Structure 1
């Protein structure tokens, strides 16, 4: 009786259509059964989908029986985390053809369905019990080899414990194909844990990106190699312009950036775009200024919140170039660079390295930041500094700035060596060249940057000179 009541409660309600009424006409018992279903379905909103005219010849009782069976199978499969109807059909194929249930033409026919449902459930449970998740063979053993301590430290800094575990069990670490990229990766793992201050410990500040900073700077260390300009394009390609012309152009662009109060990133990106375009495109000297203002327009659109208008750049050149010429040059530069404007410049690395240098001070030294920025900006005018990577120039500016402010202590420490991945010996050439710029040993007359950093708002760092030359460190 319990099964019978359950079957009657779960018996679906059916809306009688003309097609179904026509199907009931073949048997008086079927029609009586449909009347009882109509009475039972009164006042309820749910109904089974109507049967199409093409399928009206089938018996309604047998249709109800098939729907009972289909619902039972899908319900059980769903509860067993089998969501696909294809999986249900595969299970049905394993069991073999479905057994037909003999249906009587009287109202008590529903009493036979619980037995069929129990039979289906039992067989389905038996089939599902045979399904097992594939397990790896127990005999498979992975040979674990210990990594060097320096490599483990680099992986902890840039990838976490999961990356360390993966690197131990993998046959070999994936190494960059380029020789310079390989050397960069080797340097990233060359530091020890001794006396290193964690400058990424401020996890509460979302603007610091503390969790992602090591990965970000590891990535841009490789990007600076891929998108660096040629170091000898003046000798190999350009015939109408000279390094001094390039210096005059950039010195004038420094004044333009001050006039429009542009951020330093705009100036650095402008110089990068100019050098990358000149590395593979011949430019006449009459169009060099046009290239300069166009690259500053592009950099302003990329870095500034409110970029100057095209007409303003035309006005700053005393209307030497028209609006159409600037827009035409803009299209030429962007198409040549394939719109690859996300380039790590010296300013990008300088922020990171100054932060590492400030870690050894109890109170941040403002003069150190201004002086490092001053020394780094001096290099953008000089064509000879293209042979140094932006990260090398940034590290050299920090070292020389610390030495200029204090000669009693060594300007390089394990924290700076770790975050710059450069040793003091590797910065020897660039630091000596940078000191010559600071002292202006060649008597350069391009003074826009020097005048800029003589202002009190920059603590007049352009006037600071060390009593002892930095060459004594090496």
Structure 2
């Protein structure tokens, strides 16, 4: 009896303690819920289903500090329901005046301006059409707004129609001062890597750069004391054989010789280190032009172990420091590629023999120190002139198209063409690597071709 009365008194105390707990008057945050849960004073946010305690087991009145299931589930569910109330589906939102104005401004794009003196290939035409043909945004609004969108569509269609009419009238012929045709050599290219839209700007930049980075034409007299012009020619002739041995591109050879001349214009070098300079410049040019450049050990091997790997790397550091890492310089090859394209425009089919002959004549100038006084673009134009004259003495080799793209008149080429023809007609040359290279059948044996009569007077 006494035991039952004591137990009833304890239960009354617990009921009084539970009744004194008041509901919180402020929003429950996660931090507050966690704090209340740890202290055991967290009030229930949702009515819990009553669970019948097992027989012989007392129900727990509190949760331990480590039991946070209640706060993590119930509080989280409360915040999740609020998120669903905030992030509603906005696909059916009504459009106010500001929304409609923004969409119409986006749709009302001006069509691309067509430059009539610009050559358009298929790729550029597609890009321009894509720029003009902008689909207007669908506006959900009044009938007046729908009418405005339709008007924008009609304007875009009209712009496309006008653009097509203008481009269809574009001819590949450009007016010239002497009423002769100048053929557009960039309009027929569909390959985006040809950069037809930017070719004119690119080559204009090369014409400026060749003046900035050209080597000295008299460094043998002003800078060098231990080497001669003949030594330089022998070095270049040997480097031609190295290019053939490792199957390097002709661009690598041209850049190698250009780097050698630029270095010799700025630093003194002994004749024992001239070959080291040559292979080092070819190593740098290979890294710049080739996909898979030869290793340093390959260049050491080609010199029969005359120079070590350490010497080549030290020279590489010295060359790059002298040149200030300015390696992107125009060479004869860069201009020759475009000038050959301009010359080929007058042929119905590509004339491979002419291309090989022009490259052969241009490479002959690499071994000649005297040609440093001529700009690379002038040498390339002269090689094209002499190649056309060698193959055909009936028609004049220069025409308005070549004059337009080379920016040289026939009279400007007089000294260079005569000097180049003197090398071509030399019957007892000292350096044979280039001539033997172009005597091969893969180059149509163009080294054996000569013109039956000298070049006509250039006026």
TM range (shorter): 0.5 to 0.7
Instruction: Provide the C-alpha distance between the structure 1 equivalents of 2:263 and 2:377, rounded to a whole number of angstroms.
Output: 21
Provide the aligned length of Structure 1 versus Structure 2.
322
Instruction: Provide the C-alpha distance between the structure 1 equivalents of 2:274 and 2:392, rounded to a whole number of angstroms.
Output: 42
Where structure 2 has 5 or more consecutive residues not aligned to the other structure, the ranges are: 1-24, 33-74, 87-95, 103-114, 121-173
After superposition, the Cα gap between the structure-2 partners of 1:274 and 1:81, relative to the gap in structure 1 and judged at 3 Å, is: farther
Instruction: Provide the C-alpha distance between the structure 1 equivalents of 2:417 and 2:186, rounded to a whole number of angstroms.
Output: 27
1:316 to 293, 302, 309: 302
Secondary structure at the counterpart of residue 197 of structure 2: coil
Asked whether the equivalents of residues 342 and 401 of structure 2 are also in contact (C-alpha less than 8 Å), the reply is yes
Instruction: Provide the C-alpha distance between the structure 2 equivalents of 1:268 and 1:334, rounded to a whole number of angstroms.
Output: 17
Instruction: Provide the C-alpha distance between the structure 1 equivalents of 2:326 and 2:101, rounded to a whole number of angstroms.
Output: 47
Where structure 1 has 5 or more consecutive residues not aligned to the other structure, the ranges are: 1-13, 22-37, 50-75, 83-151, 159-188
Instruction: Provide the C-alpha distance between the structure 1 equivalents of 2:97 and 2:216, rounded to a whole number of angstroms.
Output: 65
2:207 to 221, 225, 246: 221
Aligned to 1:131: none
TM-score, reference length from structure 1: 0.62
> Deviation of residue 81 (structure 1)?
9.3
Asked whether the equivalents of residues 191 and 421 of structure 1 are also in contact (C-alpha less than 8 Å), the reply is no
Asked whether the equivalents of residues 202 and 208 of structure 1 are also in contact (C-alpha less than 8 Å), the reply is no
Alignment of 1:41-60 (within 5 A): 44-46=81-83
1:450 to 435, 447, 450: 435
Instruction: Provide the C-alpha distance between the structure 2 equivalents of 1:472 and 1:335, rounded to a whole number of angstroms.
Output: 46
2:28 to 17, 30, 48: 17
> Deviation of residue 201 (structure 1)?
0.7
Secondary structure at the counterpart of residue 419 of structure 1: helix
After superposition, the Cα gap between the structure-2 partners of 1:190 and 1:431, relative to the gap in structure 1 and judged at 3 Å, is: farther
> Deviation of residue 309 (structure 1)?
0.8
After superposition, the Cα gap between the structure-2 partners of 1:425 and 1:81, relative to the gap in structure 1 and judged at 3 Å, is: same
TM-score, reference length from structure 2: 0.64
After superposition, the Cα gap between the structure-2 partners of 1:326 and 1:16, relative to the gap in structure 1 and judged at 3 Å, is: same
Instruction: Provide the C-alpha distance between the structure 1 equivalents of 2:432 and 2:79, rounded to a whole number of angstroms.
Output: 94
After superposition, the Cα gap between the structure-2 partners of 1:45 and 1:309, relative to the gap in structure 1 and judged at 3 Å, is: same
2:420 to 431, 434, 458: 434
Alignment of 1:177-256 (within 5 A): 192=177, 194-256=180-242
> Deviation of residue 398 (structure 1)?
0.3
Asked whether the equivalents of residues 432 and 471 of structure 1 are also in contact (C-alpha less than 8 Å), the reply is no
Alignment of 1:415-426 (within 5 A): 415-426=401-412
Asked whether the equivalents of residues 331 and 376 of structure 2 are also in contact (C-alpha less than 8 Å), the reply is yes
After superposition, the Cα gap between the structure-2 partners of 1:191 and 1:301, relative to the gap in structure 1 and judged at 3 Å, is: farther
> Deviation of residue 462 (structure 1)?
0.6
Measured on the aligned residues, the alpha-carbon RMSD in Å equals 3.5
> Deviation of residue 434 (structure 1)?
0.4
Deviations 1:58-110 (A, max 9, x none): xxxxxxxxxxxxxxxxxx9986999xxxxxxxxxxxxxxxxxxxxxxxxxxxx
Secondary structure at the counterpart of residue 46 of structure 1: helix
Aligned to 2:372: 386
Report whether the alignment pairs 1:407 with 2:393.
yes
